[in-house]
Amino acid sequence: MITRESLRILENNLVFSKHVRRDFDDSFGRAGAKIGTVLNIRKPPRYTGRVGQGLQIEDATETSVPLVLNTQRGVDIAFTSQDLALSIDDFSDRFIKPAIANVANFMDFDGLAQYLNVYNTIGTPGTVPNALLTYLQAGQRLDEEAAPRDSSRAIIISPAMQAVIVDTLKGLFHESTEIERQYAEGTMGRTIGFKWSMDQNVRVQTIGLLGGVPLVNLAGQSGNSLVTDGWTATTATLNQGDVFTIDGVFAVNPQNRQSTGSLRQFVVAAGATADGAGNMTISISPAITATGPFQTVTALPANNAALNIYGAASTSTPQGLAFHKDAFAMGSADLPLPGGVDMAARVNDKQLGLSIRLVRAYDINTDRFPCRLDILYGWTTLYAELACRVAS
């Protein structure tokens, strides 16, 4: 009963985790076919297609993203015999809810770190959005990246972002149920094609020190790294998660490969510092690809094309997320039940995509039951293009 109640409370306390893919858990720990802690999730191939009757066979290139179960979180508590005599409701309120809230908080906190893989960004770093247009533009970015327009889109925002947007929209027309939600609960509910949620775990990006006039150093570069110069020698930095554009390099729709009219945004995949000559090689995502089925840009960057960093140096900016369910995935697997203990129980729910384990021992000296609750999980970004950061 304790383990099942713990799983129920964990699900109720999750915010971001409720809106992502969680259907890969059956692939881990299968009897007779255990794959360990890494599942490589296949992504479908893309094709350029042809015009006319002539046969033009294309290679079917499949890519994959690893989902690694590398985080084990839990909480350790002890109960007396008297505590265990309580009804499950009283026991839950006194012991389980506070413990599981901690686990759920960190699961969402870990998940929201996936923003570091997302390159599309809307808003002004350092300024909380006060107009619906900002969020509509986030939806526009998802549309330009061919994200499905269905009920699986969500927006996760910080408490400050929620307070501002609810106040901004209080006079606009909504369905009566949504108006009631805004006034009674101070939340947005569902509007402009997104399910809105507030999460205190929204992560904060601190922009690097920057410095200088950064330029592309060598025409025609492609791939996941970019050689640049013009930085302030030895002091200019970019942090992982910083976003920039390159003059003349526009984004394309992944299906028709036509320009979206917006400069392609790139996210810094690993922090970098300028050398003594002001040079900096930057690891980036997405890869600069100007042709083929995985095309991301209209053209390769020209020599001395300017880099435009998103936001001012050293600005700290909370990163809301607008995304489709398929952008991110979380996996969980059954932890083994040990022997030689007073009790061990495990509950999993395929629909929730979660598994939680409780192990209990007995201390005869104090008449107490030390217990540990554990969950093993991992996060990954499946399709970064199906998400857009909302800076504030």
Query: Is 29 a residue whose pLDDT tops 50?
Result: no
- Considering the domain architecture, whether residues 152 and 285 belong to the same structural domain is answered as no
Is 39 found in the same domain as 156?
yes
Q: Once rounded to an integer, what is the mean pLDDT over residues 252-279? A: 96
* Structure letter (DSSP) for residue 174: -
Say if residue 351's pLDDT is above 50.
Answer: yes
Q: Are residues 5 and 115 in the same domain?
A: yes
In angstroms, the CA 333 to CA 25 distance is 6
CA angle centred on 213, ends 208 and 216, rounded to 5°: 95
Residue of 7 and 28 predicted with greater confidence? 7
User: Does pLDDT of 186 surpass 80?
Assistant: no
User: DSSP readout, 296-337?
Assistant: -BSSPPPTTPBEEESS-TT-EEEEEEEEEGGGEEEEEEPPPP
- Over residues 137-167, the pLDDT tens digits come to 999 999 999 999 999 999 999 999 999 988 8
**In terms of domains, do 10 and 150 share one?**
yes
Closest CA to 78 of 378, 367, 387: 367
pLDDT of 355: 85
Give the long-range contacts of residues 97-101, CB within 8 A, separation 24 or more: 97/9, 99/6, 99/75, 99/373, 100/6, 100/9, 100/10, 100/13, 100/75, 100/373, 101/9, 101/13
Rounded percentage of the chain residues whose pLDDT exceeds 90? 54
Choosing from 314, 345, 370, the residue where a domain stops is: 314
Domain of 240, in residue numbers: 208-314
Give the pLDDT band of residue 10 (cuts 50, 70, 90).
confident
For the chain, the C-alpha Rg in angstroms (whole number) is 24
267 part of a folded domain: yes
Q: Among 262, 283, 314, identify where a domain stops.
A: 314
My answer on whether 127 and 188 are in the same domain is yes
User: CATH code at 98?
Assistant: 3.90.1690
Residues 215 and 94 in one domain: no
Q: In terms of pLDDT, which residue wins out, 171 or 120?
A: 120
Cα–chain center distance at 26: 22
54 assigned to some structural domain: no
More confident residue, 198 or 189: 198
Residue 55 lies in a domain: no
**pLDDT tens, position by position, 44-66:** 677 777 778 888 887 777 778 88
For tokens 């079917």, name the residue: 60
